[in-house]
Amino acid sequence: MQLITRYTIQDHSTFRTAFDADAEDRGRNGLSLLQLWREGEGHAWALFQVNDAKAARAYLDGAAKVFENQAGVSSSQHHFVETA
């Protein structure tokens, strides 16, 4: 299972600094980064491998909100996907 997330961001540099600092917390919560993309100045996309779906969902409902606040994320969309 993978997770695709689209972030709406205010500043790419602020976002990237906070994103990198959050890597250990994401890892403890069942998420491994596979790829990070930048879409212009206002968006970023991340593809994660989901190793523990329950922990990942709990992270998105809690600790991810702290990260998003620090990173200047104004909104995010999360999609859990599986190979068809």
What total number of domains does the chain contain?
Answer: 1
At residue 78, the pLDDT reads 97
Task: Give pLDDT, residue 14.
Answer: 96
Domain with residue 19: its CATH number is: 3.30.70.260
CB contact at 8 A, 53 and 30: yes
Structural domain span for residue 60: 2-81
- The secondary structure of the chain in percent helix, strand, coil, rounded to multiples of 5, reads 40, 40, 20
As beta bridge partners, residue 20 has: none
Residues of the chain with pLDDT under 70: none
17 contact partners, CB below 8 Å, separation of at least 6: 71
| Cα–Cα dist 29/74, whole Å | 22
Q: In this predicted model, what pLDDT tens digit does every residue of 43-62 receive, in sequence order?
A: 999 999 999 999 999 999 99
pTM listed for this prediction: 0.93
